[in-house]
């Protein structure tokens, strides 16, 4: 961070490289498509660059999650409908049908996430998909832990009902 403050562009590029998967992955799960996620990630890193002097290096991960959620919330008000959720690629070692099964699972998850409110989706993505603690999610979302637990409870119930309903379909 000190090198970045001194104007070292390579140091900033190293910070971006170290955190780009976190930011892009979170944005992709929140927004649902690559183009919007790329735009959001670019905006997050632009904000980081503008605020380098104010970002505590020890809390950078939390800061990036919070800004990513905020940027995605803003983008969600302006964007086109969710059309994809490109998560990690399936393992080829899992067998020839693994890609199809994994693609179906991602599509089901994307459709289920679309049915959640913005706050419910953010809570589930950060807590269940990104693995943050409830406290970290609350900080990133600007809510209390009790509010996050409430969003998670409602979201998980909706996800369960949607997925069970889809599995019952012929």
The answer on pLDDT for 47 being more than 90 is yes
* Structure confidence by residue, pLDDT tens digits, 64-93: 999 999 999 888 665 544 444 444 444 444
pLDDT confidence of residue 2: 63
Average pLDDT, the chain: 83
Return the pLDDT at 41. Answer: 96
User: Exposure string (b/e) for 41-66, b if CB count within 10 Å is 16 or more?
Assistant: bebbbebbeeebeebeeeebebbbbb
pLDDT band of 101, cuts 50, 70, 90: confident
Burial label, 26 (beta-carbon count in 10 A; 0-12, 13-18, 19+): buried
CA separation for the pair 169, 159 (Å, rounded): 16
More confident of the two residues 98 and 72: 72
Split at pLDDT 50, 70, 90, the class of 137 is very high
DSSP-derived letter for residue 51 is: T
Measure the CA–CA gap between 64 and 61, rounded to whole angstroms. 5
C-alpha closest to that of 87 among 31, 131, 140, 139:
31
Cβ atoms 75, 40 nearer than 8 A? yes
Give just the sign of the alpha carbon dihedral 32, 35, 36, 41.
Answer: positive
Alpha carbon of 133 to those of 86, 127, 139: distances in Å? 24, 6, 10
């Amino acid at each position: 961070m000190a090198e970045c403050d001194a104007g070292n562009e390579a140091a900033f590029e190293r910070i971006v490289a170290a955190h780009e998967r976190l930011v892009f992955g979170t944005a992709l799960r929140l927004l649902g498509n690559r183009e919007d996620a790329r735009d959001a990630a670019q905006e997050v890193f632009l904000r980081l660059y503008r605020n380098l002097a104010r970002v505590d290096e020890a809390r950078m991960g939390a800061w990036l999650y919070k800004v990513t959620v905020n940027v995605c919330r803003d983008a969600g008000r302006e964007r086109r409908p969710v059309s994809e959720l490109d998560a990690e690629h399936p393992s080829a070692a899992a067998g020839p049908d693994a890609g199809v099964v994994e693609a179906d699972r991602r599509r089901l998850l994307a459709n289920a996430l679309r049915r959640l409110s913005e706050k419910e989706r953010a809570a589930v993505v950060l807590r269940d998909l990104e693995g943050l603690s409830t406290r970290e999610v609350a900080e990133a979302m600007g809510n209390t832990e009790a509010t996050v637990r409430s969003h998670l409870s409602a979201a998980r119930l909706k996800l369960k009902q949607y997925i069970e309903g889809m599995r019952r379909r012929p």
